[in-house]
Amino acid sequence: MLIKENENQRMIQQMVRDFAEKEIRPKMMEWDESQEFPVEVFKKLGNLGLMGVLVPEEYGGSGLGYFEYITIVSEIAQVCGSIGLSVAAHNSLCTGHILYHGSEEQKKKYLPKLATAEFIGAWGLTETGTGSDAGGMATTAVKDGDYYVLNGSKNFITHAISGDVAVVIARTGEKGDSHGMSAFIIEKGTPGFTSGKKENKLGMRASETAELIFNNCRVHKDQLIGEEGKGFIQAMIVLDGGRISIGALGLGIAKGALNAAIKYSKEREQFGKPISKFQGIAFKLADMATKIKASEMLLLEAADKKNKHEVMTKEGAMAKYMTSEVAVEVSTDAVQIFGGYGYTKDFPVEKFYRDSKLCTIGEGTSEIQKLVISRELLK
């Protein structure tokens, strides 16, 4: 596999980098402390075409591929993981589900608004009692004439409060049946559809995470995505692409932490010389950079297969597993290089350290990725 960065990617990279420095860096710690979800930033990102990266131009999107997508998410995450996470969740989950599985009418109705961030998107699969075991969900959708009546709740949902539209997977058949779940598009303001408790999180604090609650919520059959019973299958396909998203997020966090550590190691002096001159620090930086490069290659391989519409379940899981674990390892090492200052909020690596852990949990834990990889190997 030979992948060369093209001029378009370099232009996008510079545009995103400039935006992140101007619009995100100055306020990212303020948002982190207050747990504010800065909707206005996402509206600006929408104006730049960064909230509909993979959406074809005919639906108001940018019509780009997964290499460009990785560039965008990772560049944002090098400055702020929270904003990177929300961009990734909006693009790959809610928008991606409608893009890949919605009807033509649904695409025309929702994709232009999602691609421009007129609508912020949410995606509901996880529940209080069903994280990795998504098939055991309790939220139900019961057919009643031309409507489905939803009851239950979803938790750990990105944009649950601020989102304008959500794709929600609910049980329409027997619990545990992979063909007993269906996906619905539900707009904010639909009677019986509300938001619940906002989570107080370790990291990614400016990316809103909360509950979605359904109390006799009536959803018209036109809002069903695809056929009844296909929701879980659709969700698994969406998560294949979502692994590239979280991979890009982890890659960006790791790169941000490494760059901060390199800069600090050149400036910080001990025993009369910069600490970068000590082999203990220099070798740590070498290990960090090597891990990042290896994980990036796995991520690009998964993206290459996704661009070619090839099956990439194993490659996506490998990339997500590797990049997320590397993000944690590299940010941990970065804190160590900073020493006591790395443990304070006045320096950037403390935030990379907190944000990185989500990557090993969200959109499938590292343990689930190993399960997926091993199943693919043993087929």
> Residue 8's pLDDT band (boundaries 50, 70, 90)?
confident
Furthest C-alpha separation in the chain: 79
Instruction: Please give the pLDDT value at position 175.
Output: 87
At residue 181, what are phi and psi to the nearest 5 degrees?
A: -130, 150
3-state secondary structure string, 324-372?
Answer: HHHHHHHHHHHHHHHHHHHHCCCCCHHHHHHHHHHHHCCCCCHHHHHHH
Write the pLDDT tens digit of every residue in 170-228: 999 998 898 999 999 999 999 999 999 999 999 999 999 999 999 999 999 999 999 99
Tokens standing for residue 193: 């559809």
* Euclidean distance between CA atoms 37 and 323, whole angstroms: 25
Instruction: Please give the pLDDT value at position 337.
Output: 98
Q: Is 269 a catalytic residue?
A: no
Asked whether the predicted pLDDT for residue 2 surpasses 70, the reply is: no
Alpha helices in the chain (DSSP H): 7-19, 28-34, 39-47, 66-77, 81-89, 96-101, 104-115, 231-267, 279-307, 313-338, 349-356, 366-377
Query: Mean of the per-residue pLDDT values for the chain?
Result: 96
Question: What three-state secondary structure class fits 178?
Answer: coil
Asked whether the predicted pLDDT for residue 253 surpasses 70, the reply is: yes
State the average pLDDT over residues 254-260: 98
Exactly one of 7, 58, 363, 367 is catalytic; which is it? 363
* Euclidean distance between CA atoms 133 and 137, whole angstroms: 8
Instruction: Please give the pLDDT value at position 1.
Output: 58
Residue 190 in contact with residue 122, Cβ under 8 Å?
no
Percentage above 70 pLDDT, the chain = 99
